[in-house]
Every structure is written in C-alpha cells, then in structure tokens.
Structure 1
Amino acid sequence: MNARRSLRAEGPVFAGGPLRPEVAPARDARYARKPIKVVIQLPCRDEAEQLPATLAALPRRLPGVDEVEWLVIDDGSSDDTAGVAIAHGAHAVLRLPHNRGLARAFCAGLEAACRRGADVIVNVDGDNQYDAAAIPELVARVLAGRADIVVGCRPIERIAHFPWWKKRLQRLGSAVVRAAASVRVDDATSGFRAYSRDAAMRLNVYSGYTYTLETLIQAGQSGLRVEGLPVGVNPPTRPSRLIRSVPQYVARSVLTIVRSFLTYRPLEFFLAPAGLCMGLGALIGARFLYAFAHGDGDGHVQSLILSALLIVVGTVGAAVGLLANQMVVNRRLLEEQQQSRRRAEWRPPA
C-alpha cells in the first residue's frame, strides 16, 4: 500500500508512514525480556497547522523501551491532517470516515494502539498544549508499576491564558472525581496521560463529548491505580474547540458528572435524595401528630398528605437505588467478560 495515498472508507483506515518505529539496540541474550512498546496517540481534527510542532516535540526513544510509535487519529478532518502527520514522522494514521467527537476518537486510538502491541499508551492532544518533555516520566511510572494511569497535571492557577471560570471548573472536576472514585489528581480534565495496556482494555467511554472525567471515575471504581504528575504547558496555538461557550461546556460537564455518578455509584446517587425526602416527610408527619394530639389535627391535613407523599417518594427512590446497585454488579461481570474478549482480540498481528 502506498504510504502517502489518501485513503477513505466506510470504517477506520490505517495509513502507514515512511518511518519505521524506533527500536532500541539489541541487548545481550542473557538479559532477554519481552520487548516493551510505547504508542503515543494523538486524537486530531483539523490540526494540519499545529501537528508539525506537536510531532517534532515527541520522543522517538524512551528509557527502558524497545519500540516507540506515533499514532495519529484523524477524526474526520477537512484539512490535510493525515498527510501532514505522515510527512512529519507519524508511523500510522487511523482515519475515521467522519467526525465522531473527541471521546470516540480517543477510544478508537486505545483499541488501535493495543492492536499494534502497545504495552503503554500515551495520549497527547494535537494542538501542542502540553510539554512533551514529561512523556518519559509518565511512561516510567507505568512501567515501574507505580500506577495504571498517570495523569499529567497542569499548573492550573499559573496558566495566564486560562480564564478564571475555566480554572474554577477544572478544580470542580477534580473535586468531583475525588468524591466519586477517591482518585486524587490535581487536574482531572487533563488529556495528557499514560495508560497501561491493562487499563486501556478496561476503559469504556459512554460520553460522546469528552473522556477525561469519566475515565478517571471509572478507573477508581475499577480499582485501577491513578497517579498525578506535574507537567508544563506550551503557549496556546488556537482557541479551545471543546469549550465553544461557557454554558454549553458547563451543561455537558454536569451531564457527564451526573451520568458517571448514576453509572458507578447509583446507590449513593438515589439514597441521598431518598433519605432527604423521607426525613422531611417524617418531620412533617411528626408535626401533624403533635397537632393532632393537641386537638388541632383538622387544620393540618395538608401536612399529613405532604408527609405521606414525601415518604412514598423517598421509599421509591431508595428501592430504585438498591435495584440500580444490583445492576452495577451485573455490569462489572459483563466488563470482566469484555476485558477477556479484548485481550484475545486486541492482539497485534502475528
């Protein structure tokens, strides 16, 4: 296949670059071990202008790693993102036939990287906002077994081009992740991350908007170890495409947070409001009983009706929470089956 041909099809298409993966020199047979491969993936859409600088900063060799590949996921770009990627050293380009969104492009990249034999996958944004000098340390922490996912945490408060509301939302996202999954990272919305192969196979993203908060909540609930690493940032190259308007970004982020709580912690999600309803109902009912005991019950019939309504709503909410919690058990069993299937299917070609 001509590596420089522009390819399009109904499904994702790979275009290979003119470069071969960087392979470390052969080692003495006495110290033979399984070769370690790192795939650096870059989900992109219309990044032809930024890609040259982004790719130029990526490492071709890493300590303790035998093979490094660059994989660009072209999410239905209207410019020549794929061609620019190949021309500037990408080993492969996964071309999606149309724009599917950042979250779907990210997931497609994880699968493609695993199928290419990756032991560690590093996710980098195509707009060159992160300092790629942190990649060796991100990978080293995964290879050392310190964490299954290492998140590159930006110095949010010191980034001059971030507006105040964005800084507050970043902090809110990190607080939500801590509350939902006991995952302590300072920048939960950062997309600059390293994943072990096992972690990549466990993750499922249901949102079509972004993957950052959801994957961390899911990782915490799945028992994966998550660690933060302070990283630097580069000057902005273009406005954010993810945050086109503040209300839209806030609404989508809140929806993602609510969906994550509902998916991974449904018992707490339903029991908290259910308990509140039942408590209020009990207090209002006690007020009615007090009035009734003092011969004034006829004037507080509305309190009795409201008390009964709140207690019924709370009981139904608690029952739904218990039922949803049992569904979580079934979902985890299905995820274990899915992971076993992925291990069998996401193998590199022989």
Structure 2
Amino acid sequence: MDTKLKLIIQIPCFNEAETLAVALAELPRHVEGFDKTEWLIIDDGSKDDTVEVAKACGVDHIIKHTHNQGLAKAFMTGLDACLKAGADVIINTDADNQYNAADIPNLVKPILSGDAEFVIGERPIQAIEHFSPIKKFLQKLGSTVVRMASKTNIPDAPSGFRAITRNVAQRLVVFSAYTYTLETIIQAGQQNIAIVSVPVGVNDDLRPSRLVKSITSYVKRSIATIFRIFIIYRPFRFFGIMGTLLFSLGFIISARFLYFYFNGNGSGHIQSLILAAVLLGMGFQTILIAFIADLLAANRKLLEDIRYKTNVQFYNSKDEDNQ
C-alpha cells in the first residue's frame, strides 16, 4: 500500500470523562506505515465532561450527538466522520482502555501488507478475570453463531478493537441499535471482504461494562441479537428450518392418525388430525415465507451495492474538495 496514508483512531464515548484520558494517553500519535495518525471521538450525548477531557487531551476531531443514540449509531457516525476527514484506515477502540493500544501496529499490519481489509483484535477471553462464566459462554456462543452466518473464522466476534480500510467503511451498515460488532463481521463475510483476527492484550477493568448492565439483560439481548442475525442474514435457512420442522411434525402426527384410522380407531384421535392439519398448514406457510425472505435478502444486497457506489462518489468528492 502507499506509505502516505492517514490513520484515524475513533472512540465512541458516553459519559467517559473518568476513563477517556487514560485511554487517550495510551494511543499512539504515530504508527509505522502511516503519514498521519489522528484521533476522533464520538460524544454520544454525554452529560459529563467527556468533550472537555477530549479537548484537553488534544483530540483532533470531536463529533457530537445531541442525545444518546447507542453504541451502534455512535460507531456508524464515527465511520462517516472518519471518511469525511480522509481516513484511509480506521481503528475503533473503547474509551474504558479495555484494549492494549500497544497492539495497534499488529492490528493494522495485515492491512498494510495487503492480506486483509478488516482486522479484529482477539482477546484472551478465558483469561480475563472480570468476565463472568456466563459472559464468557455467551461471547463464545455469539462468535460461533457469527462464524456460521458469515462463513468467516473470527474467534472473538464481540471484540470492538478493530481496524478497517476506507473501502470497507463505505460498505458497512448496521441495523442493530444495540451493538455493531456481530453485524459488521457478517456483512464482511457476505461481501467477500478479506477479514482476519490477530491476538491483542487487554488492560485492567476501569469501570463496569455499559453493554452488560446485568447478566439477565445481557442474556436477553444476546439471544435477541443472535436470532436477529439469522433472520436478517440467513432468512431462507432460518424460516426453511422452522417450516420443515413444523411440516415434519404435522406429517408424523397425521401418519399416526392414519395408522389408527385404518385399524378402526380413528374416531378417538380427531384431535390428532386437527393438530396435524394445523402444523402442516403452518409448516407450508413458513416455507413460503422462507422463499419470500430470500427474495428480500437479495433485494437488500442490491441496495447495499447501490449504497456503496453512492458512498464512494460522495466521499471521493469530499476528498477533492479538501485538497
């Protein structure tokens, strides 16, 4: 790649005044392979002194939301701002200093070598003491689901420490209001974007996770996210499996009724006949929905291509204006 490149490190922030200075103090001002390294924070409606801390620490770009819109929206706002600022590579990290900033050169190395366009920092999940067993299990489960849906091999899908190229940033779009981590990997896999992971270190816990307010809440949101992933990105498989199961169950029950009917005991199993008819009907309708959902998914991919081409034209014109 060209050695004259701009790297922007973005940090989504929501009431991070207590930890932001610590995280920024660890960030590099120069990364080998890049002509410029800049910092950008997205203030997601903070009520504390997050912006003042950022200014005092010399942050180059500060983007503000008038009210809290969630991590996923803040991430996308950051990508848009980084693209407008002319970033060739964007790194996303957290304001709580969870990730070891010394690993940033390793994070961008596959991009600079041309081996990947999307790099995920893989944390040593099992060795992180402040992660509960349930959280570790859900992290592993979420990564497994993402690998199935995206056909990638990313062991730590929920990791927010990642580097992406300008091309990838122009392609990504997040539907979830909760988090961006899983969806973006799936999109990369579906669009045949070269994605890899590299081992990264983590620092001591400075504050409780904002996403994991309670184990119950985390479990509910994780399950909902996993189902949503399959419905959006693997609709034919999701509805096809559901429809096949319902239809098969109805077929088995109907076969059972016919067995009794031909043996002269059909009058005592009318309930089975009704249940079989309902299940067969539901199964058939669900399979039809699978085909309709597959057509919608194909339409979504076309819209993503249109959005990408529009973004390329828009951001390229911005770059020309800034020159």
Length-normalised TM-score, structure 2:
0.95
Preserved contact between residue 55 and residue 89 of structure 1 (Cα < 8 Å): no
Q: Which digits, 9 at most, give the CA deviation of each residue in 1:73-106, with x for residues without a partner? A: 1111112211211211211111111111111110
For the residues of structure 1 that align with 2:65 and 2:263, how far apart are their CA atoms? 74
Aligned pairs for 1:47-86 within 5 A? 47-86=16-55
Question: Mean alpha-carbon deviation: is it higher for 87-96 or for 316-325?
Answer: 87-96
For the residues of structure 1 that align with 2:2 and 2:158, how far apart are their CA atoms? 36
Q: Which digits, 9 at most, give the CA deviation of each residue in 1:156-208, with x for residues without a partner? A: 11111211111111111111111211222221111000011111111111111
Preserved contact between residue 4 and residue 33 of structure 2 (Cα < 8 Å): no
For the residues of structure 1 that align with 2:219 and 2:235, how far apart are their CA atoms? 22
Q: Which digits, 9 at most, give the CA deviation of each residue in 1:107-144, with x for residues without a partner? A: 00001001111111000101101001111111121222
For the residues of structure 2 that align with 1:203 and 1:260, how far apart are their CA atoms? 15
Preserved contact between residue 37 and residue 120 of structure 1 (Cα < 8 Å): yes
The structure whose residues are more often helix, as a share, is: 2
For the residues of structure 1 that align with 2:283 and 2:113, how far apart are their CA atoms? 48
CA deviation after TM superposition for structure 1 residue 307, in Å: 1.3
Partner amino acid for 1:203? L
Aligned pairs for 1:165-204 within 5 A? 165-204=134-173
User: Residue in 2 aligned with 1:17?
Assistant: none
**Compared CA separation, residues 294 and 33, structure 1 to 2 (3 A):** closer
The alignment status of 1:44 with 2:13, answered yes or no, reads yes
Q: Which digits, 9 at most, give the CA deviation of each residue in 1:231-272, with x for residues without a partner? A: 101101111111111111111122122112111110011011
Q: Please, which runs of 5 or more residues in structure 2 have no aligned partner? A: none
User: Residue in 2 aligned with 1:252?
Assistant: 221
For the residues of structure 1 that align with 2:250 and 2:286, how far apart are their CA atoms? 14
The alignment status of 1:288 with 2:257, answered yes or no, reads yes
For the residues of structure 2 that align with 1:143 and 1:206, how far apart are their CA atoms? 29
CA deviation after TM superposition for structure 1 residue 34, in Å: 7.1
Partner amino acid for 2:312? R
Preserved contact between residue 107 and residue 163 of structure 2 (Cα < 8 Å): yes
CA deviation after TM superposition for structure 1 residue 33, in Å: 4.8
For the residues of structure 1 that align with 2:3 and 2:212, how far apart are their CA atoms? 42
Q: Please, which runs of 5 or more residues in structure 1 have no aligned partner? A: 1-31
The alignment status of 1:119 with 2:88, answered yes or no, reads yes
* Identity value in percent: 49
After the TM superposition, which parts of structure 1 deviate over 3 Å for at least 4 consecutive aligned residues? none
User: Residue in 1 aligned with 2:269?
Assistant: 300
For the residues of structure 1 that align with 2:220 and 2:194, how far apart are their CA atoms? 29
The alignment status of 1:206 with 2:182, answered yes or no, reads no
Question: Mean alpha-carbon deviation: is it higher for 122-131 or for 89-98?
Answer: 89-98
User: Residue in 2 aligned with 1:232?
Assistant: 201
For the residues of structure 2 that align with 1:173 and 1:246, how far apart are their CA atoms? 15
RMSD: 1.4
SS in 2 for 1:78: coil
Alignment match of 1:344 (pick from 313, 316, 319): 313
CA deviation after TM superposition for structure 1 residue 215, in Å: 1.4
User: Residue in 1 aligned with 2:284?
Assistant: 315
Partner amino acid for 1:99? N
Length-normalised TM-score, structure 1:
0.88
CA deviation after TM superposition for structure 1 residue 222, in Å: 2.1
**Compared CA separation, residues 310 and 140, structure 1 to 2 (3 A):** same
**Compared CA separation, residues 292 and 273, structure 1 to 2 (3 A):** same
Aligned length: 319
